[in-house]
Amino acid sequence: MRILAIETSCDETAAAVLEGFDRILSHEIFSQAAIHSEFGGVVPEVASRNHLDELPRVVDRALASAGVDICDLGAVVATSGPGLAAALLVGTSAAKGLALGAGCPFLAVNHIEGHLLSPFFGEAEIPPHIALVVSGGHTLLFDVRKFGDYQLLGRTRDDAAGEAFDKVAKMLGLGYPGGVEIDRLARTGNSARFALPRGMLDSGDFHFSFSGLKTAVRMFLEKGFAEADLPDICASFQAAVVDVLVAKTFRAAHELGRPIVTMSGGVSANAGLRTTARLRAEKSGKILRFAPEGLRTDNALMIAYAAAHHLARGTSHSVTLDISPNFDPASLCG
**What Å distances lie between residue 138 and 201, 202, 321, 323, 332, CA to CA?**
18, 21, 24, 18, 14
Q: Residue 334: its pLDDT value, please?
A: 67
Is CATH 3.30.365.10 correct for 128-290? Answer: no
pLDDT exceeds cutoff 80 at 323: yes
128-290 and 2-117+295-333 share a CATH fold: yes
Over residues 164-177, the pLDDT tens digits come to 999 999 999 998 88
For the chain, give every domain's residue range: 2-117+295-333, 128-290
Average pLDDT, the chain: 95
- Whole-structure pTM value: 0.95
Looking at the chain, the whole-number percentage of residues with pLDDT higher than 70 is 100
Q: CB neighbours of 103 closer than 8 A, spacing ≥ 6?
A: 71
Mean pLDDT within 154-183: 93
- What's the CA gap between 315 and 232, in Å, rounded? 50
- Are the C-beta atoms of 153 and 206 separated by less than 8 Å? yes
Mean pLDDT within 110-118: 97
- What's the CA gap between 325 and 309, in Å, rounded? 22
Over residues 232-267, the pLDDT tens digits come to 999 999 999 999 999 999 999 999 999 999 999 999
What's the one-letter identity of residue 3? I
Using alpha carbons only, what angle is made at residue 21 by residues 20 and 24, rounded to the nearest 5 degrees? Answer: 80
The third-level CATH classification (topology) of the domain covering 2-117+295-333 is Nucleotidyltransferase; domain 5 (3.30.420)
